[in-house]
Chain A
Amino acid sequence: MNRLIFRKIVNGVMLFLTALCTLATVSVLFLILGYLVYNGGKSIDWNFLTKLPLPPGEVGGGMANAIVGSATMVGLAALIGLPVGFLGGIYLAEFGGKTFAFAVRYMADLLNGVPSIVIGIFAWGIAVKPMHGYSALAGAFALSLMLIPISLRTTEQFLLTVPRSLREGALALGAPKWRVISSVVVPAAMRGILTGMILGVARVAGECAPLLFTALNNNFWARRLTEPTAALPIMIYRRAIAPYDDWHRQAWAAGLVLIAMVLVTNIAARYLLSRGISVQKG
């Protein structure tokens, strides 16, 4: 009898502890968000969104150039990286042979696992050294390298979820294979693919390490793509480690902007995805 009560107590305690663990981990998220919203909300103002950075110690500067710079580089990276992964994913799902497809998948996984700072080194060797300068192009190149495996995996994954019957039906109607892919299979999987791509873009938008020695940073507007460019994550880093209280304020505001963008895209993407799946099943 004693033994049974002991076991029951252990049961209760352990299960309670696991609930605590969940509470602890989930509450970290709320703490993070709460802090960012509180500190960032206090700090974000019109100046921040529209003005350029001011010299050290002066109050009231902004990060307009960093917002535009980030948008430019992420946009460019998406333009380069997403189609490459997309078309590669089509190959793997629709045409792939055994060994070549395995090799491509393996290499893409490898690329995905590369630490972002190492991606920065590679981009530096390819884009900064030969061009003798830091540029938005180099930064965009580094970011696109991170988008390629995400786009590839997402495309292949969702193309494979399209039922064979859809493909076979189209083929039976006499459509050539490329037509089947472009008009039937891809549109059916598009919702999932887009979700994955959007999530990937949201992820690279927050990356800082690969930009440190590719885009460097800029206190003014970058007039050409071949000039050093400001980016939000770099600005956050530089402002946070500095002593000026106004700069800390700006770092919080930038953090809020970044996290808002990341969270909104994540939530929207998942919502899209969950709706898509139910539509497909029905």
Chain B
Amino acid sequence: MSAPAVVTKSARSRRIWYGLQTGDEVAHLVTFLFAACILLLTAFLVWELWVQSAESRAKFGFHFLFTSNWDPVSGDFGALPFIYGTVVTSVVALIISIPLGVGAAIFLAELAPPRLSSACTFLVELLAAIPSVIYGLLALFTLIPLMRSYGEPFLKKTLGFLPFFDGPAYGVGYLSAGMILAVMTFPFVIAISRESLMEVPRDQREAALALGATRWEATFLVVLPYARLGILGSIFLGLARALGETMAVTMVIGNDPAIHASLLAPGYTIASVIANEFAEAGSSLHTSALIEMGLVLFFVTIVVNALARLLVLATSRKGTAQSS
């Protein structure tokens, strides 16, 4: 060991001490390089996307985001149908998963005994581990036939006067894609909302109950608003996942590059069109247009993710600040 060497402070000991310190220098350098590598890799990814989409950006400019003509043969590309499809399926997913997810989170955070709560949370989190292609496989053979034979005809009969439920019952389409996406966002909404709810200090709840509120009133009027930032954050995280989902959506969206008002109609999302057309994109303009849409998707998911993290961070800070 070096202790005696330091004490004597001879030239030889200084050299040994220096040698040991360069061990630290080496470790510092090596780990620094790897950390820098990660930084550079990500920057490189963004740069690559930017450069590879140059041809499309130069030709179409911002109009790309607002035109709906997708014609690989004549070289005219517009991203609007895909942006529309991505947004609509995600919105449908959220409409389904927010009430179900927040409801389940409330139950698990407030009402369920702790063992049941952690067991159920574990099970729900397992939903997040299931690969997207398996969701697609299941949806294709279970959800789609059910929707086509029962679900969609029922919606047409009851709500068919609305433009959202117009047109033939294909089975595939925005609605089915939204439904499968909802299942994929459950784990995010439930797990993180539950955590946010559990972080609300006990005194808040107890004060409400002391004032004579029922359990539901205490939860709905006091705890939920307190945790709303975290719940919102969980919703954004779920949204970020839904926006980028590829395989499950590709198998059930119907692949129609057009804008339809009806949820029963087939559509297309950004991720799906890239998955379907990238390997066979004939011209460099076609490839570039697909990559530009990838860039758009990338930016949107980054923003949504960033917002989500800010929100979740804000709740936990608020929680710890108040309870101390």
Verify whether A and B have any Cβ pair under 8 Å: yes
Cβ contacts under 8 Å, A46 to chain B: none
- In the complex, chain A residues whose CB is within 8 Å of the CB of B131: 205-208, 233, 258-259, 262
Given contacts A87-B31, A177-B24, contact A266 B129 (CB under 8 A): yes
Shortest distance in angstroms between A88's beta carbon and chain B's nearest beta carbon?
Answer: 4
Number of A-B contacts (CB under 8 A): 250
Judged by a CB distance under 8 angstroms, whether A252 is at the interface is yes
Which residue of B26, B38, B45, B104 contacts A25 across the interface (Cβ within 8 Å)? B104
Given A29-B124, A213-B279: A126 in contact with B246 (beta carbons within 8 A): no
Residue from B137, B214, B245 within 8 A of A252 (CB atoms) = B137
* A109 on the B face (CB < 8 A): yes
A72-83: CB near B (< 8 Å → 1, else 0) gives 000000000001
* Complexed CA–CA distance, A183 and B324 (Å): 36
* Of A53-61, A91-99, A188-196, A218-226, the one with at least 4 CB within 8 A of chain B: A91-99
**A interface: dominant SS:** helix
Q: B162 on the interface (CB 8 Å rule)? A: no
Contact of B298 among A21, A109, A114, A179 (CB under 8 A): A114
Asked whether B246 lies within 8 Å of A176 as measured between CB atoms, the reply is no
Bound Cα distance A207, B129 (Å): 11
Binds A, one of B61-69, B76-84, B107-115, B148-156: B107-115
Contact with B along A94-118 (1 / 0, CB 8 A): 1110001101100111110111111
Q: Tell which of A22, A152, A203, A259 touches B112, judged by Cβ atoms closer than 8 Å.
A: A22
A207 to B209, CA, bound (A): 47
Residues of B contacting A21 with CB < 8 Å? 99-101, 103-104, 107
Given A25-B124, A111-B41, A258-B134; A209-B101 close (CB under 8 Å): no
**Interface residue? A174 (CB, 8 A):** yes
* Inter-chain contact B247/A15, CB cutoff 8 Å: no
Is the pair B214, A202 in contact by a Cβ cutoff of 8 Å? no
- Residues on the A chain within 8 Å of B101, using CB: 21, 25
Residues in A1-29 with C-beta less than 8 Å from chain B: 7-8, 10-11, 14-15, 17-22, 24-26, 28-29
Apart from A149-B38, A240-B137, A240-B141: 20 A-B pairs, beta carbons within 8 A: A24-B104, A25-B100, A25-B104, A26-B120, A83-B34, A91-B35, A94-B31, A95-B31, A107-B43, A113-B301, A114-B244, A115-B243, A117-B244, A121-B278, A179-B23, A202-B129, A203-B129, A233-B133, A236-B134, A240-B251
